[in-house]
Amino acid sequence: MIIDTVCRLCSSCCPIEAEVEDNRLVGARRKSFLDPDKRLTCAKLAAASEIVYSPRRLTVPLVKCEDGSGFREAGWDEALDLVAARFHRHRQESGPQSVAWLRGMAADWGTPWDYPNRLMNAFGSPNTIGNGSICFVARDFAHSYTYGSMAYPEAKNARCIVVWGKNDGDTALGAAEGIHWAKEHGATLIVIDPVETPLARKADIWLRIKPGHDGLLAMAMINEIIKANLYDAEFVEKYTIGFDALKKAAAQFPADKVAETLWLSAGQIREVARIYATTKPAAIVDGNGLDMHREVFDTTRAVAMLRALTGNLDRPGGDVLPQPIPLRNIQLHERLDDTILPITHQYPLFNTFSETWGNQVQGCVVDAILDESPYPLKMVVVQSGNPLVTMADSRHTRAAFDKLETLVVIDMFMTETARLADVILPAASCFEKTQLNRASIRNNPIILQNAVIPTVGDSWPDWKIVFELGRRLGFAADFPWQTAEEAIDHQLEPAGVTVAVLRQSGKTGLRIEEPRYEKYRDTPFRTPSGKVEFFSCRLAQAGLPGVPFEDGWGDNPISFADQSGEYPVLGISGSRDIRFTNSQFRTIPALLKEGAQCLVDIHPEDAARQGFAEGERVGIETPKGVVEMTVRLSTVVSPGIIRLGWGWGDHDPRANLNILTSDDNRSRVTGTSTSRRLMCRLCKISP
């Protein structure tokens, strides 16, 4: 039997066809506008049944033995009662705010993000925390403060595509297919990336930018476009505010002056600015290469402004503003006692820019545990995340989690984080649960993620774990739903749609509104002025730059740059491999076949000079610690730069990249620290 659903083995949320026989998942295929033989294939999806039926899956709740000798199996009643008892105990002893719920990326940010928020708000703790400060939410914030919501590139229909810090061929296959298609049909492809990615090789122009300097490039492009009168004057006049302030800020960054800093030539900057501004329509595909830098907010605001300046915003083949699904907000914010500040209280604009994102500065969890500031955290529930590997500065993170009185982990597998838990609750995989993912509520059409097989062992879907825990905490009235469908129907009521209707909506999902472009002609932008805000009064009033980089480029710190005498190599964190998602899936034999070691890409000239050979194990060191990775000689990086493999810390704790990173110097606006680039040194490892 073939069942339509959505793959959630990574955040790309590809629509797929799942093949099910006798209630078992036997195969799965991505859907695509391309003919089957032209489609990109995903190694993770191909291994879906191995992932789902892995002997390493957690299939029963586990409770830490009192003598510390490991875990013992428990029933759900016992495990959930224990968790509920801890919630009550910590509330009684230290107030409800001493309990936090930390969310990773894997259970999705759509309706599954609303459920723990609802639970925690009912319980009285404002501390439901996501990982958005390092993932894309800081970028969403920048888009939203510029033109009201996060635009998405319609690359397939663009004549010019700027891929900026994104590597879709390994991270988002549907998006990659759109880019390839447009390129094959004559679109100009510009790639801005310090690494020679497969897309960079295909590009008409590749800007090998100095890591972390994208904001400077965006401002220089804005300056060129304004100076050469290549902007869309009618759009700017009618639909934007703050043009003069932007012009003034950008004038600080003429191409001739900044080219050297960017590791580019002034000619390259001018050419890219001219091509982007004059080839219509043009789309900018921005990615995680712009996140995880302290300057992410101003950088991605400047990039967002390029879209508006050139009139590419909300035009077909440009960057389109979403048509979100009307959804009931079930988070129960109104229940919170607003005299209790969240632990992320230093980031008030980030906490509140959206109605549903809430708190996203993960690092505050570590601070609150270790520094007991603004108050101590005693208990954390980690759901669908592996912070001991994925948060910056792993040693610091571990010290915090060690100090907790209670740690509960909801996961499918035993992870570095789960090993520290008092209680582990086994979660069902994405093929075993029904949910509405962020991708499908942000914009039409709605595509349902369907449970296509029964849950494996005695694992439970995340929604059921949260709802049942809610009932045990005394909130039965707030969690009346016995099925995922009932809860989703409740949220979808304003859209006039039900899960049953969605299930009949066939292969392409359900559109509740036809696509519309240039919506700003009749609907104001969702900003305070109703216009695109090159200058933001909200930011200025908060004492922040009203225009990106209005006070100059600043010191733009790279982690450990002050010690670059001792740490002379520039490390770029995080090549993502199509086989894995962050720290996941390295227990799956089929996925390890093509290599089971964490690789570091080193330019052959650097390797020769320092005496490192292909395949050799090398030490990489920063003031935070040392890791070991395997050398791959590669010219995808320039001399002086190395690219570190991402996500291996669970498989091989010695290769945990975040042992090297720092979370000490955060953005005032989004709490993001520069964990994507760092100064380091290489060292020989004695055999």
Chain residues binding Mo ion by CB under 5 A are: 135
The DSSP code for 666 is B
- Which amino acid, one-letter code, is at 56? R
Give the total residue count for the chain: 687
Round to whole Å and give the CA distance between 54 and 50: 5
* 571 scored as a contact of ligand MGD (CB under 6 A): no
Taking CB under 6 A as the criterion, the residue among 453, 657, 669, 682 binding ligand MGD is: 657
Q: Is 489 left (phi over 0), alpha (psi -120 to 50) or beta?
A: alpha
7 contact, one of ligand MGD, ligand SF4, Mo ion, none, CB 5-8 Å limit per kind: ligand SF4
Residue 599 in contact with ligand MGD, rule: CB under 6 A: no
Residue 374, preceding peptide bond in cis (omega within 30° of 0): yes
Residue 203 partner contact from Mo ion, ligand SF4, ligand MGD, none using kind-dependent CB cut-offs of 5 to 8 Å: none
Q: Which of 4, 5, 18, 45 binds ligand SF4 (CB under 6 A)?
A: 45
* Interaction between residue 452 and ligand SF4 (CB under 6 A): no
Check residue 42 for interaction with ligand SF4 (CB under 6 A).
yes
Q: Are 122 and 133 in contact (CB under 8 A)?
A: no
Question: Is position 10 an interface residue for ligand SF4 (rule: CB under 6 A)?
Answer: yes
Rounded to a whole number of angstroms, the minimum distance from the CB of residue 135 to Mo ion is 3
Cis ω before 445 (30° cut-off from 0): yes
* Secondary structure element (H or E) that encloses residue 643, with its range: strand 641-645
Strand partners of residue 425: 410
Stretch that binds ligand SF4, among 10-18, 117-125, 132-140, 542-550 (CB under 6 A): 10-18
Neighbours of 75 (CB within 10 A): 12
Paired tokens of 335:
């229940």
* Best CA proximity match to 5, nearest among 581, 410, 453, 327: 453
588 forms part of the interface with ligand SF4 (CB under 6 A) = no
> Among 472-480, 563-571, 574-582, 599-607, which window interacts with ligand MGD (CB under 6 A)?
574-582
Half-sphere exposure of 463 (CA within 13 A, CB side): 25
Closest CA to 448 of 10, 32, 5: 5
Beta carbon nearer to ligand MGD, 435 or 536: 435
Beta bridge partners of residue 476, listed in sequence order: none
For ligand SF4, the binding residue among 4, 7, 268, 325 (CB under 6 A) is 7
Question: What pairing do the DSSP bridges indicate for beta strands 71-73 and 62-64?
Answer: antiparallel
Q: Which does 470 bind (CB under 5 to 8 A by kind): ligand MGD, Mo ion, ligand SF4, none?
A: none
Return the residue of 212, 342, 363, 671 that touches ligand MGD, per CB under 6 A: 212
H/E run at residue 71 = strand 71-73
Candidate segments 274-282, 366-374, 398-406, 577-585, binder of ligand MGD by CB under 6 A = 577-585
Number of residues that bind ligand MGD (CB under 6 A): 63
Q: What is the DSSP pairing of strand 99-103 with strand 379-383?
A: parallel
Under the criterion CB under 6 A, does residue 14 sit at the interface with ligand SF4? yes
**Binding partner of residue 412 among Mo ion, ligand SF4, ligand MGD, none, CB cut-off 5 to 8 Å per kind:** ligand MGD
Q: Is 192 in the site for ligand MGD (CB under 6 A)?
A: yes
Verify binding: residue 197, ligand MGD, rule CB under 6 A: yes
Alpha-carbon distance 354 to 338, whole Å?
A: 17
| Those residues with Cβ within 8 angstroms of residue 682's Cβ, 6 or more apart along the chain or in another chain | 569, 602, 610, 612, 618, 619, 620, 621, 642
Give 287's contacts (C-beta < 8 A, 6+ positions apart): 163, 164, 165, 166, 167, 168, 171
Told to check if 676 binds ligand MGD by CB under 6 A, we report yes
164 binds, among ligand SF4, ligand MGD, Mo ion, none (CB under 5 to 8 A by kind): ligand MGD
Site string for ligand MGD, 287-316 (x = CB under 6 A): xxx---------------------------
Give the other-Cβ count within 10 Å of 317's Cβ.
Answer: 22
Interface positions, 142-181, toward ligand SF4 (CB under 6 A) = 173
Distance separating alpha carbons of residues 394 and 624, to the nearest angstrom: 9
Select 32 or 131, whichever has its Cβ closest to Mo ion.
131
Binding to ligand SF4 by residue 400, rule CB under 6 A? Answer: no
Select the binding partner of residue 104 from Mo ion, ligand MGD, ligand SF4, none (C-beta < 5 to 8 A, by kind). ligand MGD
Q: Are strands 282-286 and 152-153 parallel, antiparallel or unpaired?
A: unpaired
For the bound state, the minimum distance from the C-beta of residue 140 to ligand SF4, rounded and expressed in Å, comes to 19
Instruction: Tell me the two tokens of residue 337.
Output: 């006692």
Cis bond before residue 281 (omega within 30° of 0): yes
- For Mo ion, give the closer residue by CB, 310 or 417: 417
Element (H, E) at 128: strand 128-129
Q: Which of 667, 643, 671, 670 is nearest to 657 (CA)?
A: 643
Residue nearest to Mo ion (CB): 135
Contact partner, 42, from ligand SF4, ligand MGD, Mo ion, none, Cβ < 5-8 Å per class:
ligand SF4
Residue 656 contact partner, candidates Mo ion, ligand MGD, ligand SF4, none, CB within 5 to 8 A by sort of partner: none
Contacting residue, 390, 587, 656, 670, with ligand MGD by CB under 6 A:
390
249, interface contact from ligand MGD, ligand SF4, Mo ion, none, CB < 5-8 Å by kind? none
Q: Tokens at residue 221, please?
A: 């492009």
Segments of 193-318 assigned E as strands: 205-207, 240-241, 282-286
572 binding ligand MGD? (CB under 6 A) = yes
DSSP H or E stretch at residue 501: helix 499-503
- Residue 193 binds which entry of Mo ion, ligand SF4, ligand MGD, none, CB below 5-8 Å type-dependent: ligand MGD
Taking the C-alpha atoms of residue 308 and residue 194, their distance in angstroms, rounded to an integer, is 25
Q: Which does 173 bind (CB under 5 to 8 A by kind): Mo ion, ligand SF4, ligand MGD, none?
A: ligand SF4
Q: Does 102 bind ligand SF4 (CB under 6 A)?
A: no
Q: Minimum CB separation from ligand SF4 for residue 155, in Å?
A: 16
Which of 302, 296, 418 minimizes the C-alpha distance to 360? 296
**Which positions touch ligand SF4 (CB under 6 A)?**
7, 9-10, 12-14, 30, 42, 44-45, 173
**Which positions touch ligand MGD (CB under 6 A)?**
10-12, 104-107, 131, 134-136, 164-168, 170-172, 192-195, 197, 209, 211-212, 214, 287-289, 383-387, 390, 410-413, 415, 427, 430, 462, 572-574, 576-578, 580-584, 646-647, 657-658, 661, 675-676
